[in-house]
Amino acid sequence: MRKSQQRTAIFEELGKLKSHPRGDELYDIVRQRLPRISLGTVYRNLELLRQRGMVLELPCGDFNRYDGKISPHHHFLCRQCRRLWDFNPDIAPGESKPIKNTADFQIESQFTVFYGLCRQCLAKT
């Protein structure tokens, strides 16, 4: 993979965050560093970084969030405010039996997203 100023900035800025941004949110952050970068460039580079295993893409219903931390870990998604956090329940990633590839599927990664209400949203209800 060729190194580019835009890809480097996207990767570095994502690595600084714990907020698991959407692509458009990361675009706003990267624009502070590279004002002329386009939204399309951010999304194309996120896809390339995802394909190379350098970032995680986390489907969250009707949008995706991105994570620069690629080591196995769990996430929690609030169903009301739609924020996403790293989550450390009392089970460890990979604690379940490893799943083997079958003739029908090739497993490339595994992650768990827990859904519910965060503390702030729970307090509002």
Q: What is the DSSP string of 54-100?
A: SSEEEE-SSSEEEES--SS-EEEEETTT--EEEE--SS-TT-SPPPP
- Residue 30: predicted pLDDT: 98
Q: Is the pTM here over 0.75, yes or no?
A: yes
pLDDT surpasses 60 at 28: yes
Centroid of chain to Cα 118? 18
User: At what angle are helices 23-33 and 5-16 packed, to 10 degrees?
Assistant: 110
31 lies in the same domain as 63? yes
Owner of token pair 């009707």: 62
pLDDT surpasses 90 at 2: no
Tell me how many domains the chain contains: 2
Which segment of 36-45, 52-61, 82-91, 96-105 scores lowest on mean pLDDT?
96-105
| Domain ranges, residue 83 | 74-124
Instruction: Please name the residues in contact with 39: beta carbons below 8 A apart, sequence gap of 6 or more.
Output: 23, 24, 27
80 lies in the same domain as 62? no
11 lies in the same domain as 53? yes
